[in-house]
Amino acid sequence: MDVNPRKIPRQARARATVEAILGAGAQLLAEHGFESLTTARVAERAGVSIGSLYQYFPNKQALAAALIDHYGEALAAAFRQRWRGHETLAGAVDAMVGAALVSHPHGPELHRALNELAPRVGRAEKNKGISARIAGIVTMVLEQHRHEIAADLNLADAAALIETVLETVSHRAIEHHPVTPDSASMASHCRRLIMAYLTNPAPR
Amino acid sequence: MDVNPRKIPRQARARATVEAILGAGAQLLAEHGFESLTTARVAERAGVSIGSLYQYFPNKQALAAALIDHYGEALAAAFRQRWRGHETLAGAVDAMVGAALVSHPHGPELHRALNELAPRVGRAEKNKGISARIAGIVTMVLEQHRHEIAADLNLADAAALIETVLETVSHRAIEHHPVTPDSASMASHCRRLIMAYLTNPAPR
DNA sequence: TGAATATGTGACGAATCCCTCACATTTTGT
DNA sequence: ACAAAATGTGAGGGATTCGTCACATATTCA
C-alpha cells in the first residue's frame, strides 16, 4: 500500500487545503475513532470536496500516516520544551510529570487514537521512534543529575521505564480512572514513584 | 443501541455455537483489529452461518460487548490466582510483576484490542471495573505487608498507580519497545521501581 | 411417535464506503 | 492578455458490510 503523498501543494491555497484536511482528520479521529473515519466525512468537515482530498492523499491509510507523522512531531516538540534548566533532580522530575500531564497539544483522545492506529498503517516504527526520542530526552535530564541518582542504575533503562510510566499515567489521569482520586494526587504519587526509584539503591 | 443478547442458548449444541462465535471473534479481533472485524468473517471462522450469529447477538456491537465481558472476566480471574501466599513484600511484588508479564491468557493483542474497543461499545465502565478489581487485589496484597511499606503511603492510591504501571509495562515489554533491552531486564527494573516506591518514605 | 420448540442456513436488500474521472475554476508565468 | 499549470469539484462505479427473513434441520417432551 503506497502511503506517500500523491502531490505536494505548491500554492498557498493548496497548503491551506491540506492543513484543513489534516485538522479535520485529527478532529474526527479523536471524536469517533478510526473505524468511523471516512474520507467523505473528513473532506466535508474540512470544507473541501472529496476529490481534493484524493489529490494529496492516495488513499485513506496515507491520510492516517500523515496524521501520525504530523502530530507525533508536535508531541515530541512540546515535550522537549518543558524540561530545561532545573537545578535539582526533584525539580526536573516535577517538570517531566507536569509535561506528561499536559503535553497533549491536541488532546489525549487524539494521542491515543494515533498510538492505536500506527501499527495498522505501517507507522509502528515511527511511533516507537517518538517514544524513543522522548526517552532520549529523559536520559539527558537524568545525566545532568547523575550525582543525585543511585549509582547502580542504568540511566537509559531507567529513562525507558520512566517514559513508559509517564505516558500511561497521563492517559489514565485524564480519563478519570475510578480508583484514581484526582489528577493532583496522581501527579504527586507519580513524582514520588519516580524519585524513590531514582534515588534509592537496590536493596540487599 | 441494544447490546443485550437476543436469545440465550438452551441446548448444548447452541452453547457450542456461541462459544465458537466468541472464540472466532477474539481471534479475528486480535489479528486484524475492530475495523476489519465483520460479522460474516466471524461466522465463517466460527464455522457457523451468518444467521446463527444474529440469533444470539442482535448486532456487531453486541458481539464486541460480549467479547469484552467474557475475556475481561478471564483476565481478572487469571490475575487473582497468582499472588497468594508470599511471605515477604518482595516476593509478592515479584509475583505481581510476573503475573502482569504473562497474564494475558489470550494474548496481548486481544487485551489491547478489547481495551480500545470498550469505550466504543458502551463498555467503558466495565473495563474500568476490571482495572479497579485488579487494583483492589493489589491493595489487599499491600495490606498483608503493611509493616514493610512506608507508613505515610496510602495503600489504595499506591495500588491504583501500581496497577496502571503493571498493565502498561507489560504491554510495552511484549511489543518489544526499542529502548527496552529485553523483558527480563524490564521486569527487574519494574520490580525495583515498585519496591523503591513502597519502602521509602517521602523525602524532606 | 408426533407435535412443539429450538437451532441452523444463506441469499439478498439497503446502506455505506473507497476511490476515479471528466470537467470547472483559479493561479502562475511570459 | 493568454496559455499552461495547478487546484478544486462531486456524481457515480464497484466493492463491502450489516442485518433480515423465509425456510430447513435437529432436539425435546408428552
pLDDT tens-digit profile of B97-128? 888 877 676 777 888 888 888 888 888 888 88
- The three cell numbers of residue B65 are 460487548
Greater confidence, B2 or A200?
A200
Distance (Å, rounded) from C-alpha A169 to C-alpha A104? 13
Distance (Å, rounded) from C-alpha B34 to C-alpha A34? 9
Tens digit of pLDDT for each residue in A184-200? 788 889 999 999 999 99
pLDDT given for residue B68 in this prediction = 94
Reply yes or no on whether the pLDDT at A47 is more than 50: yes
Residue closest to C5, CA→C1'? Answer: B10
Tens digit of pLDDT for each residue in A52-102? 999 999 999 999 999 999 988 888 887 888 777 788 999 999 988 888 877
> Which nucleotides of strand D lie under 7 Å from a protein CB?
6-12, 16-22, 26-28
pLDDT given for residue B179 in this prediction = 39
Domains and CATH numbers, chain A: 12-65 (1.10.10.60), 68-199 (1.10.357.10)
Q: Which of residues 125-144 of B touch A (CB under 8 A)?
A: 128-129, 131-132, 135-136
- The three cell numbers of residue B27 are 481471534
- By CA distance, what is A190's nearest residue in B? B161
Contacts of B88 in chain A (CB under 8 A): none
Query: Residue A163 and residue B179: Cβ atoms within 8 Å?
Result: yes
Chain B: closest CA distance from residue A168 (Å)? 7
pLDDT exceeding 70 applies to what percent of chain A?
93
Distance (Å, rounded) from C-alpha A181 to C-alpha B97? 24
In the block, which residue shows the cell 490466582? B81
Query: Residue A197 and residue B192: Cβ atoms within 8 Å?
Result: yes
How large is the greatest C-alpha to C-alpha distance in chain A, in angstroms?
67
How far out from the chain centre does Cα B174 lie?
14
- A159, A169, A171, A168: which is closest to A197 by C-alpha? A159
Task: State the DSSP string of B23-87.
Answer: HHHHHHHHHH-GGG--HHHHHHHHTS-HHHHHHH-SSHHHHHHHHHHHHHHHHHHHHHTTS---S
Amino acid in the structure at residue B88:
T
Crossing angle of helices B155-174/B89-102, nearest 10°?
Answer: 40
